[in-house]
C-alpha cells in the first residue's frame, strides 16, 4: 500500500510523465513566441531608425536649395477659394477632377517671317478649347498648390525648414508651375490675336508678342475663377493694357532720345523689296505680251489696252473709259467690255507661259537626274 502511494500505478506514472512533458513544451512555445515578438519589434525599430537616419542624411541638391531660397524670399501669392478648406481638399481637387487635354504649341512661331512646310499652323494643330468648368478645375489646382506652399511658409514663421518641409514646398511649387504652364500654353493664341488687332507701327511685332506673353502669365496669377467669368475675358483686357503701356513707354523713350532711335531702321524691308521686284517682273512680262501681241488681241483691243494703261512710249498718259470711247467711237460701257475681254486673253497667255516654264524646268531636272543615274550605272559597270 505504501509502495503504491509512493510509486503509484504504472498508468499514473505514464500520465504524470506526459503531463510534465506537455507543460514543459507549452512553456517552451510561449517563451519562443515572446522571443519572436521581441525580435520583430527590434527589427521594426531598426528599420524605422534606418529610414529616419537615411532621411536625415538626405541633402538637397544645389538647384533645389537655390529654388527653395527663391520661394522663401516672399510669401506665396494665391487666389483663395472655399474649396481649399474642405475635408480631403487635395483628393477632391486633384484625384476626383477630370483629365484635361494638354495643348499642342508646335505651331507657335510668332516672330518667323513664314512657316516652313513641316511646321503646323493653328488650324492644322490640335486646338484645345476649354469650357468654363475645365478652366475652373485648372485654376483650382494651380491656386491650391500655391496655398499649400503659403501654409508651410506661415508654419515656419521665418525659421529654416527641415528636409520634410523643404521637399513638400518644392513638390507643391512644381505642381503650381506645371499648372501655370498648361494654362498659359492653352491661351497662347490670345496673344497673337491681340497683337494682330493692335495697330502700333512703331513697335516691333516680336516686342509686342513678348510683352503679351508676360501679360498672359500675370493674368494667370491674378485670375479668380470663383467669379464665374471665362479666363479669355480677363486675359484679353490685360494683354491690351500691356500693349498700351508698351506704346507709352516707347513714346517716352523717343521723346528723350529722338535722334538715337528709329524703329523703321531696325525693321527689315526684305519682304517689301521682294514683293516689289516680283510685281515689276510680272508687269514687264504683261507689257511684253501686249507689245508683241502674243495674246492675239484685235486692233480695237490693242487700242483700248494701250490707251487705258499708257503703254505707248510717245503718249504714256492713262485715259479714262469715256476718253477711250470718244477715240474709237463707242460708249464707255462698251470700252469696259472690250478691256475685260482683252485682259482675259492676256491672263490666259500669262498662265500658259508660267506653266510651260515650270514644265521645262521639271524636264531639265529629270534630264539631269537621268544623266547622273546613267553615269552612276557606267561607274558601277
**Containing domain of residue 99, as a range?**
59-111+124-186
**If 0-12 CB within 10 Å is exposed, 13-18 middle and 19+ buried, where does residue 89 land?**
middle
pTM confidence score: 0.52
Cα 140 from Cα 179, distance rounded (Å): 10
Q: Answer with the one of 218, 240, 267 that is the final residue of a domain.
A: 267
Overall residue count recorded for the chain in this entry: 381
What is the residue-wise DSSP string for 241-277?
Answer: HHHHHHHHHHHHHHHHSTTT--HHHHS--HHHHHHHH
274 in any annotated domain: no
Say if residues 97 and 141 touch (Cβ distance below 8 Å). Answer: yes
273 in any annotated domain: no
Going residue by residue through the chain (381 aa), what tens digit of pLDDT does each one get? 444 444 455 555 545 554 433 333 334 444 544 444 556 556 655 565 555 445 544 688 889 999 999 999 999 999 999 999 998 888 999 988 888 888 888 877 776 544 344 444 455 556 678 888 999 999 999 999 999 999 999 999 888 899 999 999 999 999 999 999 999 999 988 998 888 888 776 777 888 888 999 999 999 999 998 888 999 999 999 999 998 888 888 877 777 766 655 666 666 777 888 888 888 888 888 888 888 888 888 888 888 888 888 877 677 788 888 888 888 889 989 989 998 998 898 888 888 877 777 676 666 655 555 554 555 454 444
Q: Nearest 5°: phi and psi at 108?
A: -80, 95
Among 73, 89, 70, 69, residue whose Cα is nearest residue 81: 89
**DSSP-H helix ranges across 157-230:** 163-186, 188-197, 205-222
Cα 59 from Cα 51, distance rounded (Å): 14
117 in any annotated domain: no
334 in any annotated domain: yes
Where is 82: in which H helix or E strand? Answer: none
Q: Answer with the one of 58, 78, 99 that is the final residue of a domain.
A: 58
Cα 5 from Cα 9, distance rounded (Å): 8
Among 175, 154, 186, residue whose Cα is nearest residue 93: 175
One domain, residues 80 and 49:
no
One domain, residues 41 and 73:
no
Q: Count Cβ neighbours within 10 Å for each residue of 278-294 and write b for 16 or more, e otherwise.
A: eeeeeeeebeebbeeee
Our count of domains for the chain comes to 4
116 in any annotated domain: no
Cα 236 from Cα 197, distance rounded (Å): 11
Q: What CATH number did the domain enclosing 368 receive? A: 1.10.10.10
Cα 317 from Cα 307, distance rounded (Å): 7
One domain, residues 257 and 290:
no
Among 33, 79, 34, 43, residue whose Cα is nearest residue 223: 79
Amino acid at each position: 500500500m505504501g509502495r503504491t502511494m509512493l510509486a503509484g500505478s504504472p498508468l499514473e506514472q505514464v500520465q504524470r510523465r506526459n503531463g510534465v512533458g506537455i507543460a514543459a513544451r507549452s512553456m517552451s512555445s510561449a517563451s519562443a513566441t515572446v522571443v519572436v515578438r521581441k525580435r520583430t519589434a527590434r527589427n521594426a525599430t531598426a528599420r524605422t531608425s534606418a529610414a529616419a537616419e537615411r532621411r536625415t542624411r538626405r541633402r538637397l541638391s544645389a538647384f533645389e536649395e537655390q529654388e527653395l531660397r527663391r520661394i522663401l524670399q516672399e510669401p506665396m501669392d494665391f487666389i483663395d477659394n472655399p474649396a481649399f478648406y474642405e475635408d480631403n481638399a487635395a483628393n477632391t481637387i486633384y484625384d476626383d477632377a477630370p483629365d484635361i487635354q494638354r495643348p499642342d504649341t508646335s505651331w507657335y512661331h510668332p516672330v518667323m517671317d513664314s512657316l516652313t512646310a513641316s511646321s503646323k499652323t493653328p488650324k492644322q494643330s490640335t486646338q484645345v478649347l476649354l469650357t468654363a468648368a475645365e478652366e475652373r478645375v485648372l485654376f483650382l489646382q494651380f491656386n491650391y498648390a500655391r496655398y499649400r506652399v503659403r501654409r508651410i511658409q506661415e508654419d515656419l514663421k521665418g525659421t529654416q525648414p527641415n528636409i520634410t518641409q523643404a521637399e513638400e514646398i518644392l513638390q507643391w511649387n512644381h505642381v503650381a508651375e506645371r499648372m501655370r504652364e498648361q494654362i498659359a500654353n492653352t491661351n497662347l493664341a490670345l496673344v497673337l490675336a491681340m497683337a494682330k488687332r493692335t495697330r502700333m507701327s512703331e513697335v516691333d511685332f516680336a516686342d509686342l508678342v513678348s510683352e503679351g506673353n508676360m501679360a498672359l502669365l500675370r493674368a494667370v496669377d491674378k485670375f479668380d475663377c470663383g467669379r464665374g467669368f471665362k479666363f479669355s475675358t480677363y486675359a484679353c483686357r490685360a494683354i491690351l493694357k500691356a500693349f498700351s503701356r508698351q506704346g507709352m513707354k516707347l513714346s517716352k523713350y523717343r521723346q528723350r532720345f529722338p535722334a538715337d532711335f528709329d524703329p523703321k531702321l531696325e525693321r527689315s524691308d526684305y519682304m517689301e523689296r521682294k514683293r516689289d521686284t516680283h510685281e515689276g517682273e510680272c508687269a514687264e512680262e504683261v507689257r511684253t505680251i501686249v507689245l508683241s501681241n502674243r495674246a492675239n488681241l484685235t486692233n480695237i483691243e490693242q487700242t483700248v489696252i494701250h490707251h487705258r494703261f499708257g503703254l505707248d512710249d510717245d503718249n504714256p498718259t492713262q485715259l479714262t473709259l469715256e476718253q477711250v470711247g470718244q477715240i474709237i467711237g463707242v460708249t464707255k460701257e462698251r470700252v469696259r467690255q472690250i478691256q475685260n475681254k482683252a485682259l482675259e486673253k492676256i491672263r490666259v497667255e500669262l498662265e500658259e507661259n508660267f506653266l510651260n516654264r515650270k514644265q521645262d524646268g521639271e524636264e531639265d531636272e529629270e534630264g539631269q537626274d537621268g544623266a547622273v543615274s546613267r553615269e552612276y550605272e557606267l561607274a558601277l559597270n
